[in-house]
Amino acid sequence: LFVSLSISKELVALLCRDTEVINLAVCCNSSTLLGTIICKNSSIYIKPAGYYRSSSYTISSETICETTCQNFSAFHALYAKLDFSNTISDKWLSWFVGFSEGDGAILSYNGRPLFVLTQKEESVLQHILSVLGFGKVRKTDNNGTIVYRYIVEDFTGILLLATIFNGNLVIPHRQEQLGKWLFDINRKLVTPGSRIYDLCSTIVISTCLFKPSLKDAWLSGFTDAEGTFNVNITKRANTVTGYRVQLRYLLDQKYAIDLLTHISTLFGHGKVIVRSTDMYRYYCDSFIGLGKVCSYFESFPLKTKKSNSFYNWLKVFKMVLNKEHLTVEGLETIRSFKKTINPKN
């Protein structure tokens, strides 16, 4: 297995055998320790040297592996150690990771990690605050538009979030952002006097990306952030009512053609199209595929106001299946439901 690591424009190439454990210090100009490469049983991790000044780095695609399960044991252990009393299910955490990958900002400013979720809807952010038990929600006037932000900026909260995200992320650039966090976190973990000093061992960044399925809540969270349930009523000749009713499930995301293609594969129907530069859309409008969409979101409910839109959209879906849209009365009922799906306010 060939691994390449770009650090401060220096390229370090290492040859690792599949089954042998090799620990190597990675240095630049033979002076500054930047991290440790750990290879074991074909799983590759990069352990930053947190007590030195962080340097920008990227993990090449050759180092990335995939996993089909999420593991939140590190979070649960640290959460209990810090005496939090909330019981948080892995199902909820999977939803939270998906929601964060869709709408979250994993930021770093001059060695200070910051996490922000921005929504027009306050209730979902208050829900997250209530479940996690840390962070804060702020109301902000954004050029005349009121928005709400869930913010975590203290190192203890950031450390807990890092244990939620590490090894459980789906989108590659989110993994890169987490890597920047870990440089700062690991430095604090080994710095006497810091609030998180020695709370846990330094965190090894997992290069594995989680591959979501229809048996976990990641897609529910991601849809709460980036998805839309849509009903279109258009004129069409040679129909009983003179109108056609079309339902669609949509997901839009930048730099995510591989992810959206995977989601298309999960449902077995739908297409991925290019909307603009680097912006992609997955859409499903076949009734076989939409049936699978319905089943998934009934098993893994949405938590934002999109939940109301989904259940009204589901009513329309069932009406069309029962051919109620072919009557004037049924079509008018569908028009009424349509007004409640994706309302602006």
CATH top-level class of 218-340: alpha beta
> Tens digits of per-residue pLDDT, 263-322?
999 999 999 999 998 999 999 999 999 999 999 999 999 999 999 999 999 999 999 999
> Tens digits of per-residue pLDDT, 55-71?
344 444 445 688 889 99
Is the per-residue pLDDT at 4 higher than 60? no
Res 2: pLDDT? 32
Res 25: pLDDT? 34
**């400013």: which residue's tokens?**
109
CATH 3.10.28.10 domain residues, the chain: 64-210, 218-340
What distance, in Å, lies between the first and last C-alpha atoms of the chain?
Answer: 52
Res 64: pLDDT? 63
> Tens digits of per-residue pLDDT, 162-213?
999 999 999 999 999 999 999 999 999 999 999 999 999 999 999 899 999 9
> Tens digits of per-residue pLDDT, 145-160?
999 999 999 999 999 9
Q: Name the more confident of 138 and 4.
A: 138
Token pair of 41 as six digits: 């049983």
Res 142: pLDDT? 82
Is the per-residue pLDDT at 30 higher than 60? no
Res 49: pLDDT? 35
Across 320-332, average pLDDT: 95
Considering the chain, what is the average pLDDT of its residues? 84
Helix (H), strand (E), coil (C) string for the chain: CEEEEEECCEEEEEECCCCCCEEEEEEECCCEEEEEEEEECCEEEEEECCCCCCCCEEECHHHCEEECCCCCHHHHHHHHHCCCCCCCCHHHHHHHHHHHHHHEEEEEECCEEEEEEEECCHHHHHHHHHHHCCCEEEEEEECCEEEEEEEECCHHHHHHHHHHHCCCCCCHHHHHHHHHHHHHHHHHHCCCCCCCCCCCCCCCEECEEECCCCCCCHHHHHHHHHEEEEEEEEECCCCCCCEEEEEEEEEEEECCHHHHHHHHHHHCCCEEEEEECCEEEEEECCHHHHHHHHHHHHHCCCCCCHHHHHHHHHHHHHHHHCCHHHCHHHHHHHHHHHHHCCCCC
Q: Name the more confident of 39 and 72.
A: 72
> Tens digits of per-residue pLDDT, 217-235?
999 999 999 999 999 999 9
**Fold topology of 64-210:** Endonuclease I-creI (3.10.28)
